[in-house]
Amino acid sequence: MKILILCTGNSCRSQMAHGFLKSFDNRMEVASAGTNPTLQVNQKAVEVMSEAGIDISHHKPQMVDKYLTEVWDYVITVCDHANETCPTFSGKVKKRLHIAFEDPSQATGTPEFIQNEYYRVRDEIKEAFFNLYEEEIKSQLP
């Protein structure tokens, strides 16, 4: 089972979803990429994922072009911009999904508010991807 998660910067939401999916079942091959990737994974995302017991500190943002010719069981966009600008895959994509989340890196306010936005989005991503795994993906795994 091959799953690609797409976002614009591939620094926060897609990296969290990538980390959670891999933690649910290591039989899945999971990758994440961006339509305009940043230079590094968002450090607040690394921090809140670590607090959830998942290490994404070794992840590196990737350009989606790297994956366009591969065959994917799922291509999942996690932000509206990536969904709107998602390139055409010349490889086969069995199922394309869009599950949008707010970008916590765009939050403004007190440090406490911003931190809580990262926690909120992290938890929303975990719940949505766990439900997808349990309800759809798990039954397709060998």
Active-site annotation, residues: 7, 79, 86
**Is 22 within 8 Å of 14 (Cβ atoms)?**
no
User: Cα angle at 51 between 50 and 55, to 5 degrees?
Assistant: 15
DSSP assignments along 4-38, one per residue: EEEESSSSSHHHHHHHHHHHH-TTSEEEEEESS--
**What's the token pair of residue 23?**
């933690």
- Confirm if 12 and 20 have CB atoms less than 8 A apart: no
